[in-house]
A and B are shown apart, each in its own frame.
Chain A
Amino acid sequence: AQKITQTQPGMFVQEKEAVTLDCTYDTSDPSYGLFWYKQPSSGEMIFLIYQGSYDQQNATEGRYSLNFQKARKSANLVISASQLGDSAMYFCAMREVSMNTGFQKLVFGTGTRLLVSP
């Protein structure tokens, strides 16, 4: 069963505008973490922002903010004032704890390709 769902294969936004990238997740664990990563065409995965399931406030990091709606199991990434350099793939990931090992691993969605136009 898909645990992380990103329904937008591609998104377009004009420079300086805000854009929201959707992410929904599925877990029965009350304790979990949600991460967003950016992957430019060069290939490296760049950590953007983290939200814990017990965090009272939505996470923010510079131009990135996370719209966390726990009851709806959604963790959408909001990028404000888009820049040309924001063009990349964006992946939502959930921290999953192995029942066997007790160690965490990340489960990724399929990603959303964002294109910022001048």
Chain B
Amino acid sequence: EAEVAQSPRYKITEKSQAVAFWCDPISGHATLYWYRQILGQGPELLVQFQDESVVDDSQLPKDRFSAERLKGVDSTLKIQPAELGDSAMYLCASSLSGTVVLSDTQYFGPGTRLTVL
């Protein structure tokens, strides 16, 4: 069964350091999402790609976060510099179309659990 891949699964870093997370969506899925999930809360969308283009990054803290999906396949999310408040689970998801198809389902990867010391 096709899955969304993410790495690393766990990352511990010190504040002010740079970190990067990688995501490989399900093959053929045009839309890729990065979510942040703070402990005890539901995931919140950070950035959404349609193929290689960003279609929504309104919740991405652009002073320190960046995301790219250069060839419209896999994606990288970077934080530089990391802050204590960035400690969270970072989830990647993909869906077939991302457009207004009522049943377009997002499938999630295993996540990267980030701890900033």
| Residue in B closest to A54 when the chains form the complex, CB atoms | B102
Q: Mark B98-117, 1 if CB is under 8 A from A, else 0.
A: 11111111111111010000
Q: Which of B102, B104, B108 has the most CB of A within 10 A?
A: B102
Q: How many angstroms from the CA of A36 to the CA of B109 in the assembled complex?
A: 16
A to B contact number (C-beta, < 8 Å): 77
Contact of B40 with A by CB under 8 A: yes
Contact of B12 with A by CB under 8 A: no
Please determine whether A104 and B98 come into contact, CB atoms closer than 8 angstroms.
yes
How many B residues, CB 8 Å from partner? 30
Please determine whether A103 and B56 come into contact, CB atoms closer than 8 angstroms.
yes
Please determine whether A102 and B33 come into contact, CB atoms closer than 8 angstroms.
no
Q: Mark B27-50, 1 if CB is under 8 A from A, else 0.
A: 000010100000011111100101
Q: How far is the CB of A36 from chain B (nearest CB, A)?
A: 11
Say which size band chain A's interface belongs to.
Answer: 20 to 34
**CB-CB < 8 A to B108: which residues of A?**
37, 44-47
Selecting from A13-21, A62-70, A76-84, A106-114, the interface stretch reads A106-114
Q: How far is the CB of B25 from chain A (nearest CB, A)?
A: 14
Please determine whether A103 and B102 come into contact, CB atoms closer than 8 angstroms.
no
Residue from B102, B110, B113 within 8 A of A33 (CB atoms): B102
Please determine whether B40 and A105 come into contact, CB atoms closer than 8 angstroms.
no
| Residue in A closest to B6 when the chains form the complex, CB atoms | A44
Q: How many angstroms from the CA of A111 to the CA of B103 in the assembled complex?
A: 21
**CB-CB < 8 A to A108: which residues of B?**
42-44
A97-B100, A103-B55 are contacts. A47–B42 as well, Cβ < 8 Å? no
Q: How far is the CB of A108 from chain B (nearest CB, A)?
A: 3
Please determine whether B102 and A52 come into contact, CB atoms closer than 8 angstroms.
yes
Q: Which of B42, B101, B108 has the most CB of A within 10 A?
A: B42
Contact of B79 with A by CB under 8 A: no
**CB-CB < 8 A to B23: which residues of A?**
none
Can you report 10 A-B residue pairs in the complex whose CB atoms are below 8 A from each other? A32-B102, A43-B113, A46-B108, A91-B43, A98-B55, A100-B56, A102-B99, A103-B99, A108-B43, A108-B44
State the B residues within 8 Å of A (CB). Answer: 31, 33, 40-45, 48, 50, 55-56, 89, 91, 93, 98-111, 113
